[in-house]
């Protein structure tokens, strides 16, 4: 008996990481739902992937900073029982530093990079928890681990995505839902041009195909956190161990001794 592979909904699917995920999952025989603002590019991608791999591909045009559009995607996730994988990929950065970014720009970035992914997860996981299966891939970034990089609001949204993923795995893993956070470093996508930066001036830029292929190795291994550019995974293991070692010390009825003196 053949088991139907789950359909995959991918946000930010018109180019870059999202389009590459679409290509890779189509090659694996999964039907797709592509979500992005650029309908023409999605339709062109859908036509090519259907011709090459014979999978069914739906296109849902949505601006994920617009509430009404987000609600459409939420409804699709709630009601389309074929969708068993969500790739939360859509995201952006901003030009300039925090002192040059307006409150409106900051709010839009937080909506796209953090609020909307959390909403999409909240829309679909009740159905998956009932079914006892489902998978979420949240595209975070190594910037979320590195305040020193100076991308203040962008980095904060990516730190949110990492925490969201880890906490979801703790809560939902026992209910059959797999959650993966993927932390790219600099990757050759259109995000650079859109944020006013020239990617060709950077060193150590990973090609998008290599990034997604590495992330999928982590996906198949069911890693909770995948960091494709990190050569030594023992460093991540040590960081996690140090974090976990603090947990028993957080439940205290008094402030630590070092805070009970003025000096």
Residues annotated as catalytic are 154
**Nearest in space to 140 (alpha carbons), one of 88, 178, 94:** 88
Enumerate the H helices of 28-102 as residue ranges: 39-53, 67-79
How far, in Å, are 124, 166, 168 from residue 73 at the CA level?
10, 23, 20
User: Residue 114 phi/psi, 5° resolution?
Assistant: -130, -55
> Rounded CA gap, 261 and 263, in Å?
6
Burial track 69-87 (b if 16+ CB lie within 10 A, e otherwise): bbeebbebbeeeeebbbbb
Q: Which residue has the tokens 């389309």?
A: 80
């Amino acid at each position: 008996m053949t088991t139907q592979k789950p359909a995959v909904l991918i946000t930010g699917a018109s180019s870059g990481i999202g389009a590459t995920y679409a290509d890779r999952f189509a090659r694996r025989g999964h039907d797709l739902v592509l979500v992005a603002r650029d309908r023409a590019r999605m339709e062109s991608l859908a036509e090519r992937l259907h011709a090459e791999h014979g999978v069914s591909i739906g296109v849902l045009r949505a601006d994920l900073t617009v509430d009404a559009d987000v609600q459409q995607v939420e409804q699709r996730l709630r009601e389309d029982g074929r969708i068993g994988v969500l790739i939360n990929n859509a995201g952006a950065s901003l030009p300039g530093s925090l002192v040059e970014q307006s409150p409106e720009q900051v709010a839009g970035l937080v909506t796209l990079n953090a609020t909307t992914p959390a909403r999409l997860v909240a829309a679909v996981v009740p159905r998956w928890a009932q079914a006892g299966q489902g998978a979420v891939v949240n595209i975070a970034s190594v910037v979320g681990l590195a305040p020193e990089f100076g991308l203040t609001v962008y980095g904060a949204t990516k730190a949110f995505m990492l925490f969201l993923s880890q906490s979801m795995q703790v809560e939902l893993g026992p209910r059959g839902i797999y959650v993966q956070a993927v932390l790219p470093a600099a990757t050759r996508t259109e995000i650079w041009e859109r944020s006013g930066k020239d990617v060709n001036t950077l060193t150590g830029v990973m090609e998008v195909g290599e990034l997604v292929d590495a992330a999928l190795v982590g996906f198949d291994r069911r890693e909770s956190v995948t960091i494709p550019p990190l050569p030594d995974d023992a460093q991540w293991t040590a960081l996690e161990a140090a974090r976990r070692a603090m947990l028993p010390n957080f439940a205290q009825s008094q402030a630590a001794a070092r805070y009970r003196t003025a000096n």
